[in-house]
Chain A
Amino acid sequence: MLLWWLIGVPLLSGALLAVTGRRADRAAPVAGVLVAVAVLGLAVAAADARPVVDAPLLLAGIRAGFAVDGLSALMVITVAVATLAVLVFSGGDRDLRTSRFVGFVLLFAGAMLVTVTAATLAVLLMAWEVMGAMSWALIGYQWREPESVRAAGTAFLTTRFADLGLYVAAGAALAGGVGSLALAELPSAPTPWLHVVAAGVVLAALGKSAQLPFSFWLSQAMHGPSPVSALLHSATMVAAGAYLLLRLIPLLEPTGWAGPLVAWVGAATAVLLGLVAVAQSDLKQLLAASTCAQIGFMVLAAGAGGVAGGALQLVAHAATKTLLFLAAGAWLVVLGTKQLGELRGAARRFPVVGVTFTVGAASLAGLPPLSLWVSKDAVLAAVLERGWVPLYVAGLAGAVISAVYSAKAVWFVWQPVPARTPAGARAADGRVNAAMSLPLVVLAALAALLGLLPTLASGSLAPAPAVWELVLSGLLAAAAIAVTWRSAARIGAPRPLASWLGLERAAHAVIVHPTLALARFLARFDDRFLDRSVDAAARATGAVARALDRRGEPLVDGAVRAVAVAARSLGRLARRPQTGQVHQYYAQAAAALALLALFVIVVR
């Protein structure tokens, strides 16, 4: 029952708010926060009680099962916290104090909660897709802006493309005899289907997590409000992919290929998208790319089988990234810009935001003793345990790069306030109100302290990173920061990196444009050819008739033109014998009768 409440409360209250519309705008922010608090309470309770429930869904075997186990417990709390933080923060933003926004956020969070507690593929897929749709609604929240709308579409379509993998996986699981579609039973599918299931799951997870080659949608998603980004990038949506992979490590293992593939994709994303982040001049874009890169570590962990490391990374990153996005959002609200160049001195002018941002960035950079430093090394330890040295090296490179871009961001905001206000930026008279600051502080604390979690729950982290690894990564991070600090202003932005490796253009060129072209071609085909050939037989016969009667005038009725023309010709032909002349009737009748007699004689 607890679990039903956990997923029911946000979903129902969210749906209620979303449906109520403007009438509830006034009460929405408060209601949202209250619900979020309730959810957090439920989440904690659920994490403690570890409930398992289910209900019949489709055919007898396929049930709507939910369960909270270790991984889920961690996730539900993370999700609840992130949601609460985001709702509290957005309460301070005038544009977001609508029941529509709060409703969608709650629905979104509810869907994520369902995702992380789902025990069967069917329910997981449902929540997974709802999350995608809600991301559309949230990214496109400012629907009058064509860019946000387009960004929303891109996000939804890209993730849905990946979701197709889950549909196929579900089918393949059923084909493979896993009639219940239970996640736990998926690995028991026989070979041909096992691979299909794994491939589908991997595709879906990579798409949701904006791993290569799907990363571009996350860049677009920055058009949404900052709290949305915070939610999307931290505990939900992109994290869902990583969560799914972590949850289904037992499925990846027996295939032989899925683990290494996933690991390599994760590592590649960590490195390449890290470089992309370095090249960004827009703070939110930088953070977005860094999200991809950081999620890459989780994916790497999943590929290497390091559940604990991956989960830790997930939680730590959630706290950190929520913090960073909210900070960026706060600046965006008060300063009206998110360009790094225009944010010079922002931290000095808004010290609370600046400090918390710096804490978050330091964590992101992997500076000891902050949370991501630990979690990253936990992931890398899992990789190393496998003996995948190249991957380990790549991971370290990724870590170094993350230090570089974190340092770059921090460098900018702590620069002295420029003398003249950049054009287009809002006059700096805004204040960061309490609703915004409170979550920042809390999150900063979390981001800093979550690294201690494994030590609290002693021994739960396996394999634990060796001391030398921790030291090595800490040193590398520090060194990278030091180097960056001095050259931050000169970091260039190579085109491919600045434009997110051109992934979106590639997607357009490879998938969107051909599809549209095919669609247009087929539409023309449908109109011009298929429609007209409705009665090709009649036309063929009609050809002779038309030769006899060329005067066939164009018919008003365009739709049935081809048939009609043919029919008209035939109709005229059929009327030709009726000349009105009796002697011609006679001749025709006589000839016809003679033919009939001959016919009868011949066929006999």
Chain B
Amino acid sequence: MTLELFLLLAAALFAIGLYGALSQQSIVMLMMGLELMLNGVIVATAAFWYFVAPGGADGQVLIVVIITAMAVEMAAGFAVVTALYRARRVDMTDDAADLKG
């Protein structure tokens, strides 16, 4: 159990999430990718707290912030998808690409 191991794990989760965010057509799946990336960030933050700065509470607060952010973004994301779906019956990013250039 070292910092590097945790960070490698975090990086791996981050990369998987990034792959998902980049490759998924469905907005909800894409959001899952983003969640997974944040998952990695949680790991990294916890590890940093433990291995680098256990004396303060900043790391812990950061994790709280991350969790809140996940929740907020999930909610916002679902709302956007709902609105989009109502407006144009699509839930794929590729199908909503009228604005460009």
Contacts and interface: CB of A to CB of B under 8 A. Distances in A.
Asked if A and B form a direct contact in the complex, defined as CB atoms under 8 angstroms apart, the reply is yes
A583 to B, nearest CB: 6
A575 B99 CA distance: 12
Contacts of A583: 22-25, 30, 93-94
A583 B30 CA distance: 9
Interface in B42-101: 93-94, 97-101
Interface string A574-587: 01001111110011
Nearest to A580: B100
Contacts of A575: 101
B9 interface: no
Given A581-B93, A581-B94, A586 B100 contact: no
B14 to A, nearest CB: 11
A590 B22 contact: yes
B49 to A, nearest CB: 23
Q: What is the predominant secondary structure among interface residues of chain B facing chain A?
A: loop
Contacts of A582: 30, 93, 97
Contacts of B97: 579-582
Interface string B8-49: 000000000010011111000010000000000000000000
A586 B21 contact: yes
A578 B101 CA distance: 5
A581 B25 CA distance: 10
Contacts of B30: 582-583
Contact of B101 (A580, A586, A587, A590): A580
A581 B100 CA distance: 8
B74 to A, nearest CB: 17
Nearest to B34: A586
B22 A587 contact: yes
Contacts of A587: 22
Contact of A580 (B22, B24, B25, B99): B99
Contacts of B93: 581-583
A590 B97 CA distance: 20
How extensive is the interface on chain A, given as a class? 10 to 19
Contacts of B24: 583
B99 A590 contact: no
A586 B99 contact: no
Nearest to B93: A582
Interface in A552-604: 575, 578-583, 586-587, 590
A195 to B, nearest CB: 72
B100 A578 contact: yes
Contacts of B98: 580
B1 to A, nearest CB: 28
A580 B22 CA distance: 14
A538 B85 CA distance: 45
Nearest to B97: A580
A583 B101 CA distance: 15
Most buried by B among A575, A581, A582, A590: A582
A578 B93 CA distance: 14
B24 to A, nearest CB: 8
A575 B100 CA distance: 9
A428 to B, nearest CB: 90
B22 A586 contact: yes
A579 B96 CA distance: 11
A569 to B, nearest CB: 15
A410 B101 CA distance: 93
Contacts of A579: 97, 100
A578 B100 CA distance: 5
Contacts of B99: 580
A237 B101 CA distance: 74
A1 to B, nearest CB: 83
A590 B25 CA distance: 17
A564 to B, nearest CB: 19
Contacts of A590: 18, 22
Most buried by A among B23, B30, B100: B100
B90 to A, nearest CB: 12
A163 to B, nearest CB: 65
Contacts of A580: 97-101
A567 B97 CA distance: 26
A591 to B, nearest CB: 10
Contacts of B21: 586
A583 B94 CA distance: 8
B22 to A, nearest CB: 5
Nearest to A579: B100
A358 B100 CA distance: 98
Nearest to A575: B101
A583 B18 CA distance: 11
A387 B58 CA distance: 115
A194 B39 CA distance: 94
Interface in A64-94: none
A582 B98 CA distance: 11
Nearest to B25: A583
A580 B99 CA distance: 5
Contacts of B25: 583
Nearest to B18: A590
B73 to A, nearest CB: 15
Nearest to B98: A580
A586 B18 CA distance: 9
Contacts of B101: 575, 578, 580
Contacts of B100: 578-581
A336 to B, nearest CB: 81
A28 B23 CA distance: 99
A580 B100 CA distance: 4
A579 B22 CA distance: 15
Closest 7 CB pairs between A and B? A580-B100, A580-B97, A582-B93, A581-B97, A586-B22, A575-B101, A579-B100
21 contacts: A575-B101, A578-B100, A578-B101, A579-B97, A579-B100, A580-B97, A580-B98, A581-B93, A581-B94, A581-B97, A581-B100, A582-B30, A583-B22, A583-B24, A583-B25, A583-B30, A583-B93, A583-B94, A586-B21, A586-B22, A590-B18
Given A575-B101, A579-B97, A580-B97, 17 more contacts: A579-B100, A580-B98, A580-B99, A580-B101, A581-B93, A581-B94, A581-B97, A581-B100, A582-B30, A582-B97, A583-B23, A583-B25, A583-B93, A586-B21, A587-B22, A590-B18, A590-B22
Interface of A: 575, 578-583, 586-587, 590
Interface of B: 18, 21-25, 30, 93-94, 97-101
